[in-house]
Amino acid sequence: MSGQETEGLPVRQAGVRLIVGLGNPGREYAHSRHNVGFWCLNRLARRHGIAFSSRGRLAAVGEGRLAGQPVILAKPRTFVNLSGRAVSHLLKRYRLSPQQLLVVFDDLDLPLGRVRLRADGSHGGHRGMRSIIEAIGSQDFPRIRIGIGRPSAPGGTGEPTWEPEVVVDYVLGPMTADERRILDEAAATAGEAILCLLSEGVEAAMSRFNR
């Protein structure tokens, strides 16, 4: 799918066309839990021969076809908390509606490796999703959450914590080999869910992958 074909894509066209994976730019964040949305898109791009362009100021973008559908894959160059800037720009650039957007991101409140789809909804406390919803003025778009689990409180009690400093260190910090394997598998599952959503619709994908 060439730039000429997508730049004038009519808003009335139904179905997801823009798939955004959330993560932080830079090598120091590449293997962090917060970047699992990037991992998912990287897998899809490699598998389906889609190349990301490095020319975009706000996002790395790759155009191609998934499940027979023309799509735009995008990885924002903004940090996660400012993802709305990139997403808003891309929707305007390709003349797409919010309903044609799909976002893939990490979720602290899902167990490690769990994948969940929603057709719409609030940001659920995720700052990247809050940024997107505020920037585009809508929460009516599908999303795929990949569970990274919540860190435990200091002291060895095993209780989950919402302490900001602990959470930041956790989402941006290193993980064990087992955790990485589980998240790699979850990113692959999320990719399969995207293909199902594109070919069969969001309800069918939710039924299959939200078990």
Distance, in Å, from the CA atom of 5 to the CA atom of 106, rounded to the nearest integer, reads: 31
Q: Is 31 a catalytic residue?
A: no
- Which residues are CB-contacts of 64 (< 8 A; sequence separation ≥ 6)? 1, 45, 48, 49, 50, 70, 71, 73
- Which residues are CB-contacts of 61 (< 8 A; sequence separation ≥ 6)? 52, 53, 72, 73, 74, 90
Query: How many Cβ atoms sit within 10 Å of the Cβ of residue 66?
Result: 21
Distance, in Å, from the CA atom of 103 to the CA atom of 29, rounded to the nearest integer, reads: 19
| Chain centroid, CA 69 distance in Å | 18
Distance, in Å, from the CA atom of 162 to the CA atom of 44, rounded to the nearest integer, reads: 32
Sequence length of the chain is 211
Q: Check 34, 48, 89, 123 and give the catalytic one.
A: 34
Residue that has been written with the tokens 């930041």 in this structure: 168
Distance, in Å, from the CA atom of 53 to the CA atom of 36, rounded to the nearest integer, reads: 20
Residues annotated as catalytic are 34
